[in-house]
């Protein structure tokens, strides 16, 4: 399979909710995660007492379905918004 992209490099299409943060273009999963972290840092959404916890704003709540997630849980929630 020369030239085939897989895993983190294969372009994925974000859901409408995820596109609010990443844009609607297909991106490799690694870029999606990078854009989510940019959003988290820009909006100061890490819990200051526990940096592994992300406090959702309205855009992230639409993706996560709840007010807080751990950084380890985040990828599970993102997967539901990628096709």
Kindly tell me if the per-residue pLDDT of 75 is higher than 60.
yes
The residues pairing with 11 across neighbouring beta strands, listed in sequence order, are 28
The secondary structure element, H or E, covering residue 14 is: none
Angstrom distance (rounded) from CA 50 to CA 17: 26
Give the tens place of pLDDT for each residue, 20-58: 999 999 999 999 999 999 999 999 999 999 999 999 999
Identify whether 3 is part of a domain. Answer: no
Looking at per-residue pLDDT, the higher value among 35 and 6 belongs to 35
Domain assignment of residue 62, given as a range: 12-79
> Domain for residue 6, yes or no?
no
Q: Number of helices (H) and strands (E), helices first, in the chain?
A: 4, 5
pLDDT of amino acid 1: 43
Residue 15 DSSP class:
P
CATH of the domain at 42: 1.10.245.10
Mapped onto helix, strand or coil, the DSSP state of residue 70 is: strand
Question: What pLDDT is attached to residue 3?
Answer: 46
Confidence at residue 5, expressed as pLDDT on a 0 to 100 scale = 56
């Amino acid at each position: 399979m020369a030239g085939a992209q897989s895993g983190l490099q294969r372009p994925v299409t974000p859901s409408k909710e995820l596109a609010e943060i990443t844009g609607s273009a297909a991106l490799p999963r690694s870029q999606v995660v990078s854009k989510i972290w940019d959003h988290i840092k820009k909006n100061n959404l890490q819990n200051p007492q526990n940096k592994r916890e992300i406090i959702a704003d309205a855009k992230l709540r639409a993706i996560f379905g709840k007010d807080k997630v751990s950084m380890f849980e985040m990828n599970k929630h993102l997967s539901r918004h990628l096709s």
